[in-house]
Each structure stands twice: as structure tokens, then as C-alpha cells.
Amino acid sequence: MKSYAEINSRIESGKAVVLTAEEIIDYVERKGLEEAAEEVDVVTTATFGPMCSSGCFLNFGHSQPRIRITQAWIDDVPAYCGVAAVDVYLGATELRRGDPANTYYPGEFRFGGGHVIEKLVAGEKLELHGLSYGTDDYPRREVRTTFTIKDLNQAVMVNPRNCYQNYNAAINCSDRPIFTYLGQLKPNGQNVSYSSAGQLSPLLNDPLYETIGIGTKVWLAGAQGHVYAEGTQHSPTCQRGANDVPTEGAGTLALTANMKEMKSEFVRGASLRGYGVSLALGIGIPIPILNPRVLKRTTVRDRDILAPLIDYSSDYPNRTGKVLCRLSYEELKRGEVEVEGRKVEASSMSSYAKARQIAQLLAEEIRRGDFLLAPPIRRLPLKQSASGLKIRERQR
């Protein structure tokens, strides 16, 4: 048994033993659970993939004379202005003004909110265009200027939902190609697409949220941020395997961090053909090895994590709840799965290679004593599910 304080003091003295969620599997097999739990202080988990529920608050500072911005565009991408005078929220999936979207199907969605966020973190120059109706105290009615992240008072990433604990694998059973947030799916079930780091993914290594909770410190694209709430659609009441690992999408995390400290390599605008714009983010979360039980959870393997295979041509859009079968991440990562007796090519929308890199980077930061852990101030809800939207007839 170890406490957060003990683990942090070992980190501060540069003596912490840190392994990634991939490395820990063999380590525990070699050493045994009890001995490994004594030796290992932290296991690092990570993920990298498109996460639509992302965005950021920006504060531009006040111009002379002042403006109370009511409409704003950054590099022609609209930002939400229904907050204070020079605060805006820029969402990852926002399209650029004039983007034809899917008018010429499948749309290309070359540039949008996610790309603006990438440019911002990369330190590139962006253009702000703001409009206002003018008031006595904020008389200016238009502003047009360029800026970089350095010019902003605050640039804070605030993501309502990241780190989905497990996710669907998608297939297309129709006879035409379809374009989804999991990529292009060829007709007649010719390919399967999935999106999870599997055995490296944060919440799959802590299936019952014993260490990852509100207040947990996270590595968000290189910045030290934290979990500020349960993520939207957090639905821990779900089907779980014998290892308590969900066999469908379940828990989620709401994350925040200072964008000025981020690395652009881990903040990438994504153009998903026929679907829209998104933002791919790199996230690392350390798991403190408080006891053998917590350690055991981190030894989960790809073969023990199952994803539901869903037909994105009909069952997903119509929300029928039908699952064709369940596929392990071991099969999925092999690049070929068997669906109804047929061999089907599988590929990923999230990057396992990048997740590995992030787990290593975080492990190194902790070993160097540069990243201390924070105990959660509140546990994530363990019992709740996400309900659907009821379409009610209008009362006359």
C-alpha cells in the first residue's frame, strides 16, 4: 500500500519507478503482482485520436476604444461570443465561413475550428474579425487584427468530452461507401474502423475510476492539466466483462489545460471527408500504484478488451442498439478481423503509435520529477447512463 504523498515524494526525489501501461504487462508477469506493486509507483496511460467535443476559451484583451464582441471569426471560423466582451469559445468542429459542407458530397472539410486550434498552439499568426452593435461603454463596432497565442491573455482548452472508455468498431453493411467520423467505410462490409488505444487507453486501465477522478492531473498535449468534471455522455452503467472493463463506450472525462504550454505535435486539426472537422489530441494520464488491485487493473491486455461492431450505415444512425459482434483489440490491431466467417481488413482512427510515444513522454517527465500526481477531489459517478433525446409532438 502506498499513498499519493509517498508516491509524490519519490517522484520529487527522482526515484520513482514508472512504466507505461504496455510495459507493465510483462513486468507484472515476471515479478508477480505483490512484488511489482511494491516496486512500481506509477503506470502511464495515453491516447491520441480525434475528439470532437473539444474547444477553447480565448481572451483577447481590450482594444482602444473598447468593443463588446458579439460575433467573431478567427481565420474565418466562427467563435461563440455569448460570453464576456472579449472572451470567445472556439469549438473544434466549427466549419469555416462559406465551407460548402456536404453540398458536394462527400465534402472535404479542409479547414475549421480544429485547424485554428492547431495553428494557435503552433504559434502561427491568425486573423480576428469581430463585430458588435456598440454600447456607451463599448463603442467600437468592428475589430480586425492579427494575433498569435502570445498576444492572448488566456488560451484555455476546455473539452467537455475526451478519453472515451472504449468505443465502437464500425462497419458498413450497405451497398454504397459511407463517410463517418470513423473514416470512409467501404460497401458490403469490406473494412472495419475502430478508435481506441486499447491496453494503453486511460479509462480501460482504471475501469471503475479508482484513481482517475475529478481533479486528477493529466498530460494534455504536453501541458499539465486536469480532469474538471465527468465528461458529457459519461455512462458507467454499461455492459462490462469479468475484468470490469466495459465492452462498449462508457465513462468519459472533461479535461482542461493551458494551451500556451501545449505542443502542436499533439494538437492536430482533422478533416474527416464527408463528415466534418475535428481535433485530434494527445492525452496521457498517470495511474498511481496505490495497491496491488490498482496495479492489476493496469495489466489489462488488448485481447481482454472487446469493442462492439456496429453497422454505421443503418444501426448507428437509427440507434437500433444492434451489435453485430464483439472484437478484441488484439484482433483489431492485427489488421484483420473475422466477421460472420469472413476476413475483413481493420484499421484505426486513433493512433496507437502516438499513444505509445505519449505514455513514454509522460513516464520520462514523472521520472525527472517534473510531473507530480494529484489525488482526485471527487470520484467519477459509477452508476448512471446517457439517455437519448425524446422527440415530443408539439402540444396544440
Partner 1 sequence: MSTKKLLLYFPKSETEKPIVYHLVKDYNLIINIFRAKVTPEEYGYLVLDVTGTEEDIRRGMDFVRTFNVQIDEAQKGVRWEISKCTMCGNCIPHCPTKALHISDRSTMEVAFDSSLCIECLSCLQNCPYGACSSIF
Give the binding site for partner 1 (CB under 8 A).
Answer: 48-50, 183-184, 186, 190-191, 193, 268-273, 278, 280, 333-335, 345-354, 356
CB of 352 to partner 1, least distance (A): 4
Q: Which one, 269 or 288, has the nearer CB to partner 1?
A: 269
> The C-alpha cell of 332 is what?
483489431
SS3 per-residue string spanning 134-179:
CCCCCCECEEEEEECHHHCCEEEEEEEEECCCCCCEEECCCCCCEE
CB of 48 to partner 1, least distance (A): 7
Q: Which one, 12 or 345, has the nearer CB to partner 1?
A: 345
H or E element in which residue 29 lies = helix 23-31
Q: Are 277 and 93 in contact (CB under 8 A)?
A: yes
DSSP state of 214: B
User: What is the CA angle 271-273-274, rounded to 5?
Assistant: 130
CB of 355 to partner 1, least distance (A): 9
Task: Report helix, strand or coil for 203.
Answer: helix
CB of 301 to partner 1, least distance (A): 13
Q: Measured on CA atoms in the order 26, 30, 33, 37, is the torsion positive or negative?
A: negative
Beta strand 342-348 with 191-194 is parallel
Q: Which one, 68 or 268, has the nearer CB to partner 1?
A: 268
Single-letter code of the amino acid located at 282 = G
CB of 347 to partner 1, least distance (A): 5
Q: Which one, 169 or 373, has the nearer CB to partner 1?
A: 169
Q: Which one, 34 or 364, has the nearer CB to partner 1?
A: 364
CB of 346 to partner 1, least distance (A): 8
Task: Report helix, strand or coil for 130.
Answer: strand
Q: Which one, 251 or 282, has the nearer CB to partner 1?
A: 282
